[in-house]
Amino acid sequence: MIRPMALIIEQIPVLSDNYVYLLHEPEAQATAVVDPAVAEPVLERLEARGWQLTHILNTHHHGDHVGGNLALKRATGCTIVGPRADRARIPGIEVEVGEGDVYALGQAQARVYDVPGHTRGHIAYWFEADAALFCGDTMFSLGCGRLFEGTPAQMWASLAKLATLPDETRIFCAHEYTESNARFALSVEPDNEALQRRVAEVKSRRAAGLPTVPSTMAMERAANPFLRPFSPELQRQLGLSGGDLVAVFAETRRRKDSF
Ligand code: ZN
Ligand code: FE
């Protein structure tokens, strides 16, 4: 039996467009921070909530995801958890995790997925009972991460794996990129009604100063072109009707890079 939702999740906007997340498990009084770009705003929020930081969960090695690791470790003595495949590049890593591992945050459990593509060692954490996915820079709302270290085939496999998670899964990605992603998505799937509805929602949320993250897996499957290489409209727009899924994904990513 899956225990009911128990994690309290707080979203902290930092730098120009990063989201850092605090995950608090009240029974065990365990608190994790996902991808602390910087330490100070995390320490302030912990203080305001009266929570003691017990874990850092890193998704990948980029500075805007691990920049606060060592300062938070010094301030709190927390345990640093990160991708086994990238242990050499995660500052202070103590616990290495990878595909199929289950990591416990008190009573809450995260299943780990290897999702290479943005970087070669990128991982994602899925808290099934809490319907929450922390996917770093692999999937964004209406977008995906740039392919700095991986091939289109690797990134497509990573996204396709995440896309099998349940509809209600909340997508806690690491950046507020949704508005610019939306402009690109509309250029390649202009007649997608789910996308049109999402774009309207994104515009009104941003106009009101609200985050567009988290979205849901159902929303992303319906509207995110990087999860939709099978879409006849997308294929037609790219001049790749009937093309194989990796080729369509690769062309979508290539066009976004120069959009
Ligand atoms: Zn990154
Ligand atoms: Fe990032």
CATH number of the domain within which 141 lies: 3.60.15.10
- Any idea what DSSP says for residue 174? S
User: Which protein residues have their CB within 5 A of the ion that is ligand 1?
Assistant: 62, 137
Work out the average pLDDT over 191-210. Answer: 98
Q: Which of 114, 119, 126 minimizes the C-alpha distance to 23?
A: 126
In a domain, 160, yes or no: yes
In a domain, 130, yes or no: yes
3-class secondary-structure state, position 12: strand
In what side-by-side order are the strands of the sheet with 79-83? 8-14, 18-25, 30-34, 55-57, 79-83, 95-97
Instruction: Please tell me the distance between residue 66's alpha carbon and the centre of ligand 2 in angstroms.
Output: 10
The string of pLDDT tens digits covering residues 5-38 is 689 999 999 999 999 999 999 999 999 999 999 9
The string of pLDDT tens digits covering residues 219-242 is 999 999 999 999 999 999 999 999
Which ligand lies nearest the alpha carbon of 37?
Answer: 2
- The pLDDT of residue 72 is above 90: yes
Strands 8-14 and 108-114: unpaired
Q: Which of 42, 101, 45 minimizes the C-alpha distance to 66?
A: 42
Which ligand lies nearest the alpha carbon of 138?
Answer: 1
In a domain, 249, yes or no: yes
3-class secondary-structure state, position 95: strand
Give the chain's domain count. Answer: 1
- Give yes or no for a contact between 248 and 227, defined as CB atoms under 8 angstroms apart: no
Instruction: Please tell me the distance between residue 117's alpha carbon and the centre of ligand 2 in angstroms.
Output: 13
In 10 A of CB 28, how many CB atoms? 14
Cα-based distances in Å from 87 to 116, 150, 165: 14, 17, 26
In a domain, 81, yes or no: yes
Instruction: Please tell me the distance between residue 98's alpha carbon and the centre of ligand 1 in angstroms.
Output: 18
Which ligand lies nearest the alpha carbon of 149?
Answer: 1
In 10 A of CB 189, how many CB atoms? 22
Instruction: Please tell me the distance between residue 65's alpha carbon and the centre of ligand 2 in angstroms.
Output: 6
In a domain, 80, yes or no: yes
In a domain, 2, yes or no: no
**Active-site residues: which are they?**
60, 62, 64-65, 118, 137, 175
Work out the average pLDDT over 136-161. Answer: 98
Which ligand lies nearest the alpha carbon of 35?
Answer: 2
pLDDT band at 1 (very low <50, low <70, confident <90, very high): very low
Percent of the chain with pLDDT over 90: 98
Q: Which residues contact 109 (CB under 8 A, 6 or more apart)?
A: 102, 103, 127, 128, 129
Percent of the chain with pLDDT over 70: 98
- The pLDDT of residue 2 is above 60: no
In a domain, 1, yes or no: no
Instruction: Please tell me the distance between residue 232's alpha carbon and the centre of ligand 2 in angstroms.
Output: 31
In a domain, 3, yes or no: no
Task: Show the domain range for 205.
Answer: 8-257
Give the angle 94-99-102 at the CA atoms, nearest 5°: 65
- The pLDDT of residue 141 is above 90: yes
Instruction: Please tell me the distance between residue 229's alpha carbon and the centre of ligand 1 in angstroms.
Output: 23
What is the structure's pLDDT at 29?
96
Q: Can you give the C-alpha Rg of the chain in angstroms?
A: 18
State the chain's mean pLDDT as an integer. 97
What is the structure's pLDDT at 6?
87
User: Which protein residues have their CB within 5 A of the ion that is ligand 2?
Assistant: 64, 137
